[in-house]
Amino acid sequence: MDIRYWNKDVETADVQKIRHLQLQRLKSIIASALKTPFYSRRLPSVGINSPDDIKTLDDLRRIPFTMKDDLRQNYPKGLLSVDTSEVVRIHTSSGTTGIPTVIYLSAKDLDAATDIMARSITATGAGRTDILQNMMSYGLFTGGLCMHYGAERVGLMVIPAAGGNTKRQVSLMNDFRTTVLHITPSYLLHIHSKLAEYGVKVGDLALKKAFIGAEPHSEGTRRKIEELFKIDAYNSYGLSEMNGPGVAFECVYKNDLHLWEDAYIVEIINPKTGQLVPDGQEGEVVLTNLIRHAMPLMRYRTRDLAFLHIEPCKCGRTHRRLSRILGRSDDMLIINGVNMFPSQIEEVVMKIPEVGNNYQICVEKDGALDRLIVKVELYSKMFLGEAKQIDNLKSKIGEELKASITIKPAIELHEPGSLPAFEGKAVRVVDTRPKL
């Protein structure tokens, strides 16, 4: 295994050392937070008036959670701790679900975030000789620029392709012998389904690795990507509120994601009660950013559901690993009273070998009842066989889904390329039921 470190001392530091560093950094973040309109009201209300009021890491739990709504209500400057002359970059969330949220970075903050990104890239074994095609969108979204800066710092050659224009993406990969991709898993699968049309074979390309993230995906999807492209795919997790990608990243063992604990304090809570869950148990990920001072954010509720591995990783890093994101506490579907996450459906369908590169989950009203329809693309060779084979496959998919989500959805099988494709984050669920 090609185990490389970016900052070995920190990456392999013993737990006590990491906790000590976290406490020092938390105090310093509290000092910055007290300069923001938002936290200068909130912290004194729980008796925190200075960094000295934080004696141990447990004191963090005196601070109430910060919610996405807090960011919205304090848009645009309520969480800014410095004069804008100190700010070198802003990013905002898309705002598709309401008022956008904004993050601010000082030069020092950007430097720290870039370093964490460089560390993440290095953990996968990528380095100076690699050529990275960055297909995440550049601009207000963090995915493109943050990876770009991190990769430049490591010394990879970066192709700032951004998302979209699939034909050109493939030409770029071919012409510049791209070895690493940064991309959403759904877009990567879409690219695969276009290769034949462009007259390109996987074997013509020089791909070795892909950093896949920004959207939920199952282990089956990762395997499919790895098999189709003959590459290693590494899960990359991040969110704009925490500076974007690089919060947690897989190392060469691809056994879930090291969450960089010198930069973030992670708590896993029961989303209903807000209480910490025991180690190793699933819950909502809550993050405190320890490396951003221009806009401090503490105990931010991500809504992402995951658990922490307690066992150490073979790579020697001591930072705990976050599981793949199992769902979001706000994307649960309730179908005729049965709760399920879209990720459970993906988990099943993407493991079925006949299923191709895309799927969609539709929910509609059928009289008084809800109707769940799972649409999957098949590889074209499947349509050459007998009709009976197709029928058997339909019932197999239906049965396997029933075993996981307890209800049997209607299954539709589609030709490759016929379901909506996405160049960035995929929208998998189309729920046309009237909102209550």
Binding site for ligand AMP (CB under 6 A): 93, 142, 213-216, 235-240, 244, 302, 304, 325, 328
* Binding flag, residue 335, Zn ion (CB under 5 A): no
315 lies in the site for Zn ion, by CB under 5 A: yes
Among ligand AMP, Zn ion, none, partner that 93 touches (CB below 5 to 8 angstroms by kind): ligand AMP
CB of 264 to ligand AMP, least distance (A): 13
Residues 30, 289: Cα–Cα separation, whole Å: 11
Upper half-sphere CA count for residue 358 (Cβ side, 13 Å) = 25
Select from Zn ion, ligand AMP, none the partner in contact with residue 293, using the beta carbon and a kind-dependent cut-off of 5 to 8 Å.
Answer: none
Distance separating alpha carbons of residues 201 and 108, to the nearest angstrom: 44
Closest approach, Cβ 236 to Zn ion, in A, equals 14
Q: Does 251 bind Zn ion (CB under 5 A)?
A: yes
Q: For the chain, how long is the longest CA-to-CA vector?
A: 74
Q: Which amino acid is at 416?
A: P
Nearer to ligand AMP, 150 or 213 (CB): 213
Choose the contact partner of 144 out of Zn ion, ligand AMP, none; CB within 5 to 8 A by kind.
Answer: none
Cα 204 to Cα 347: distance, rounded to the nearest angstrom: 30
428 binds, among ligand AMP, Zn ion, none (CB under 5 to 8 A by kind): none
- Does the footprint of Zn ion cover residue 405 (CB under 5 A)? no
Placement of tokens 């459906």 in the chain: 345
Residue 215: which of ligand AMP, Zn ion, none does it interact with, CB under 5 to 8 A by kind?
Answer: ligand AMP
267 beta partners: 286
Residue with tokens 């105090």: 27
CB of 93 to ligand AMP, least distance (A): 5
Nearer to ligand AMP, 120 or 142 (CB): 142
313 touches Zn ion by CB under 5 A:
yes
The nearer residue to Zn ion, 149 or 249, going by C-beta atoms, is: 249
Q: What are phi and psi of 354, to 5 degrees?
A: -75, -15
- Report whether 115 contacts 87 (CB < 8 A): no
* One-letter identity of residue 411: I
Structure tokens at 220: 């089956």
H or E segment to which residue 22 belongs = helix 15-33
Q: Which is nearer to Zn ion, 105 or 252 (CB)?
A: 252
| Residue 235 binding result from ligand AMP, Zn ion, none, given CB thresholds of 5 to 8 Å by partner type | ligand AMP
Binding-site partner at residue 315 among ligand AMP, Zn ion, none, CB < 5 to 8 Å by type: Zn ion
Task: List the end-to-end C-alpha distance of the chain, in Å, as a whole number.
Answer: 53
Q: Identify which of residues 189 and 251 has a Cβ nearer to Zn ion in the complex.
A: 251
User: Could you tell me the smallest distance in angstroms from the CB atom of residue 333 to ligand AMP?
Assistant: 16
Residues in the interface with Zn ion (CB under 5 A) total: 4
Residue of 364, 365, 369, 362 whose CA lies nearest to 411? 362
> What are the DSSP calls for 273-334, one per residue?
T-PBPPTT--EEEEEEESS--SS---SEEEEEEE-EE-SPPTT---SPEEPPP-EETT--EE
Closer by beta carbon to ligand AMP, 244 or else 416: 244
Q: How far is the CB of 62 from ligand AMP (least distance, A)?
A: 25
Q: Give the whole-angstrom CA distance, residue 203 versus residue 343.
A: 31
In the complex, the residues that contact Zn ion under the rule CB under 5 A are: 251, 313, 315, 317
